[in-house]
């Protein structure tokens, strides 16, 4: 088989971004991290995954709890290696959790990764973290908890809201998973990635979900830096009403109609 079939070419927004991500992947090379095979001025060559968890969620709908736990334990184990290197991944979501052809889970997309220095994160996917979230390890654990709830229920949660155990149970999470996800979302420093991995594995999680065919590369909230550059729209005619600010236009362009984050008290999957 042609080896190129097993590789994937990822374009980056700039030569600096490509070099930065290549450095992170090279330093973290090993289990749980998408393998880097080469770098070029504006992109990377990576091992090709079978699909992402976003693809699985779109094709199958919510996952069984043992599959959710297996994903969480594997992702937390990979995050432990990232955190040991002093980095925050900063973009944990289903689209960045990949299933390999060999039945492993890979953590991917280190474009937003940065030192855990407590400064506000500069790059992250809209709707996945609170604006102004500090670059600390707890940000990755909170994002992982929101990801696992999404995989369990099919509902994209509002990261700016407070999610209690009762809220998560109403959305469809089991009592145990609700308690654990609420604990991860508290972000009070009492939990680190290795402990999260052990907690999630206690439920007997031992098998990741099977990859899906006919992958569509689903991702309702792309990373900010990966958004295509669009020409500036022509000036709006002066009508007495103020035109939308630039950030309002960006938000309208980024947030799909079918991916409105849920807030506490909502128990319906976005239509």
**What is the residue-level pLDDT of the chain in tens, covering all 271 positions?**
344 447 777 777 677 788 888 889 989 999 999 988 877 777 777 888 889 999 999 999 999 999 999 999 999 999 999 999 999 999 999 999 999 988 899 999 998 999 999 999 988 888 888 889 999 999 999 999 999 999 999 999 999 998 999 999 999 999 999 999 999 998 766 799 999 999 999 765 568 999 988 666 655 454 443 333 334 444 555 555 444 454 444 444 444 445 567 777 766 544 3
Other beta carbons within 10 Å of 124: 28
Task: Give the pLDDT score at 111.
Answer: 87
Task: Give the pLDDT score at 198.
Answer: 94
Please compute Rg for the chain using Cα positions: 19
Q: How far is residue 243's CA from residue 73's CA, in Å, rounded to a whole number?
A: 47
- DSSP letter assigned to residue 263: -
Q: Does domain 50-201 have CATH number 1.10.510.10?
A: yes
Grouping H, G, I as helix, E, B as strand and the rest as coil, residue 254 is helix
Q: How far is residue 51's CA from residue 37's CA, in Å, rounded to a whole number?
A: 18
Task: Give the pLDDT score at 2.
Answer: 43
Task: Give the pLDDT score at 74.
Answer: 96
Picking from 79, 88, 81, the residue whose alpha carbon sits closest to that of residue 116 is: 88
Helix (H) or strand (E) holding 97: strand 97-99
For the chain, the structural domain boundaries read 50-201
Q: How far is residue 63's CA from residue 49's CA, in Å, rounded to a whole number?
A: 19
Task: Give the pLDDT score at 37.
Answer: 83
* CA atoms lying within 13 Å on the CB side of residue 261: 21
The alpha helices in 129-254, defined as continuous H runs, are 137-153, 165-171, 175-186, 193-201, 246-254
Task: Give the pLDDT score at 226.
Answer: 38
Q: Whole-prediction pTM value?
A: 0.79
Grouping H, G, I as helix, E, B as strand and the rest as coil, residue 115 is strand
């Amino acid at each position: 088989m042609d080896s190129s079939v097993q590789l994937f070419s990822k374009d980056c927004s700039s030569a600096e971004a490509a070099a930065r991500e290549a450095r992170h992947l090279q330093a973290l090379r090993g289990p749980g991290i998408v393998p880097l095979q080469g770098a070029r001025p504006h992109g990377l060559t990576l091992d090709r995954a079978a699909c992402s968890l976003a693809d699985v969620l779109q094709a199958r709908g919510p996952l069984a709890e043992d599959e959710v736990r297996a994903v969480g334990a594997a992702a937390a184990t990979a995050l432990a290696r990232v955190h040991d290197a002093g980095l925050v991944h900063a973009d944990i979501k289903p689209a960045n959790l990949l299933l390999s052809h060999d039945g492993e889970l890979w953590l991917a997309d280190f474009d937003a990764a940065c030192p855990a220095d407590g400064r506000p994160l500069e790059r992250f996917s809209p709707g996945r973290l609170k604006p102004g979230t500090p670059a600390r390890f707890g940000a990755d654990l909170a994002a992982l908890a929101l990801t696992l709830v999404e995989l369990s229920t099919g509902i994209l949660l509002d990261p700016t809201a407070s999610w209690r155990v009762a809220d998560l149970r109403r959305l469809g999470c089991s009592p145990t998973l609700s308690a654990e996800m609420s604990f991860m979302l508290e972000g009070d420093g009492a939990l680190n990635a290795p402990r999260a991995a052990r907690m999630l594995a206690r439920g007997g999680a031992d098998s990741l979900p099977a990859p899906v065919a006919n992958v569509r590369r689903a991702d309702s909230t792309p990373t900010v830096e990966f958004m295509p550059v669009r020409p500036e729209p022509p000036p709006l005619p002066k009508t007495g009403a103020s035109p939308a600010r630039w950030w309002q236009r960006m938000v309208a362009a980024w947030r799909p109609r079918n991916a409105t984050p849920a807030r506490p008290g909502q128990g319906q999957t976005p239509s």
